[in-house]
């Protein structure tokens, strides 16, 4: 497997996940097809000029992360920043104000 194949697969995966998983858009089947074709093209280009193909693949990865592929869908970086700024911190903790939960019993004040 060529060195650029993983980078190209990451580009396709990020694009597909950003559009379909995170923004509930229908799967655009052109993305997996274009990813496979780009992977084959980069494998061929890597035989001619390995350093140039690798630099171009990393440049494409940065471009996909920072730019909008579909104008109606935010870029992956915009989506990540929106998630970060929303204060998402994982599963919500249960409130201990219900009174009779499993915690320590209340201490009596004297």
Q: So what's the pLDDT on residue 4?
A: 95
Of 18, 99, 33, the C-alpha closest to 66 is: 18
Quick check: helix, strand or coil at residue 49?
coil
Tell me, yes or no, whether 110 lies in a domain: no
Q: Which tens digits make up the pLDDT trace of 25-66?
A: 999 999 999 999 999 999 999 999 999 999 999 999 999 999
Percent of the chain past pLDDT 90, that is, above it, reads 65
Q: Is residue 109 part of a domain?
A: no
Q: Does residue 28 form part of some domain?
A: yes
User: Is 98 a member of any domain?
Assistant: no
14 sits in which H/E element: helix 3-16
Q: What is the pTM of this model?
A: 0.73
Q: Is residue 49 part of a domain?
A: yes
| pLDDT of res. 83 | 87
pLDDT over 90 (residue 2):
no
Identify the sign of the CA torsion 34, 35, 40, 46. Answer: positive
Residues of the domain holding 64: 3-85
- Residues 7-16 have pLDDT tens digits of 999 999 999 9
Query: What confidence category does residue 3 fall into, taking pLDDT thresholds of 50, 70 and 90?
Result: very high
pLDDT at residue 96 in the model:
52
In this structure, what DSSP letter does residue 107 have?
Answer: P
User: Of 55, 62, 75, 99, which Cα lies nearest the Cα of 15?
Assistant: 75
Residue 100 in domain: no
> In this structure, is residue 101 part of a structural domain?
no
């Amino acid at each position: 497997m060529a060195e650029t194949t993983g980078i190209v697969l990451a580009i396709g995966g990020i694009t597909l996940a950003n559009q379909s998983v995170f923004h509930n858009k229908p799967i655009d089947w052109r993305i997996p097809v274009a990813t496979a074709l780009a992977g084959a093209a980069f494998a061929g280009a890597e035989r001619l000029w390995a350093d140039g193909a690798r630099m171009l693949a990393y440049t494409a990865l940065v471009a996909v992360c920072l730019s909008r592929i579909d104008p109606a869908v935010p870029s992956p970086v915009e989506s990540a920043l929106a998630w970060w700024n929303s204060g998402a911190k994982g599963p919500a903790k249960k409130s201990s104000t219900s009174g009779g939960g499993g915690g320590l019993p209340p201490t009596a004040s004297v």
